[in-house]
Amino acid sequence: MRIDGSGALVAGGASGLGEATARLLHERGAAVVIADLDAGKGEALAAELGSGARFVAADVTSSGPVEAAVAAAAEADGGLRISICCAGIGPAQRTAGRDGPHDLELFRRVVEVNLIGTFNVLRLAAAAMTANEPDEEGERGICVNTASVAAFDGQIGQVAYSASKGGIVGLTLPAARDLSGRGIRVVTIAPGTFDTPLLATLPERARKELGAAIPFPSRLGRPAEFAALAAHTVENPMLNGETIRLDGALRMPPR
């Protein structure tokens, strides 16, 4: 799938992994729609990128706003062909502890945003892609999801987060099979410990300790490295139905 000239949607694109991905796709010639709850950051990024970038306010858990973002991306000359979902939250709480059982509403909210939100973007983007003319490979589009190594190596306090990210891993293959007849691919990236705004709030010592735990390279991942893999999945037609760990050989310990 060619990036240049394609319409692209980046959900959760105003900061972190999504911002880096939106920047790279725009740099490579895609018409990028940045969908995010943070209007301030989203509008600022779109203004910085300039022509070929726009912001649409969207909560991934709601159909209407995501439909609007998809429709905006589909206005590109080539139609919406690239959808990348980076939206997510990650509060921590144990299954049961001194304060009692895990808060059920918190668990439900994490699953709603991370898993249901990802599926919402996937289903609506894929439906729009079916209207595209296939390229020379018979391809109409690609949907890239963001899981986490926590889907496989969930730590203490990550029961809700790991469950939500494990669900994303679980839907990847059947979604790819569902959409294969339409010429639409589905790929998931499972990043390890990356230098995102969430980690930027930690003390420098804690950040260095997190980076040192990664076998090689022994540092936090860079958002640009996530973006580079996302772009490669777009351009490599044989990548389909797969979850790719991007973690420097990290296997998370219990805590």
pLDDT at 201 over 80: no
The whole-number pLDDT of residue 253 equals 87
- Of 19-28, 69-78, 192-201, which gets the smallest average pLDDT? 192-201
pLDDT at 78 over 90: no
User: What's the pLDDT tens digit per position in 111-168?
Assistant: 999 999 999 999 999 999 999 999 999 999 999 999 999 999 999 999 999 999 999 9
Give the whole-angstrom CA distance, residue 109 versus residue 113. Answer: 6
Residue 250: name the closest of 166, 141, 148 by CA. 148
Catalytically active residues are 161
pLDDT category, 17, cuts 50, 70, 90? very high
Give the whole-angstrom CA distance, residue 148 versus residue 153. Answer: 9
Mean of the per-residue pLDDT values of the chain? 95
Domain 7-246 grouped into CATH 3.40.50.720: yes
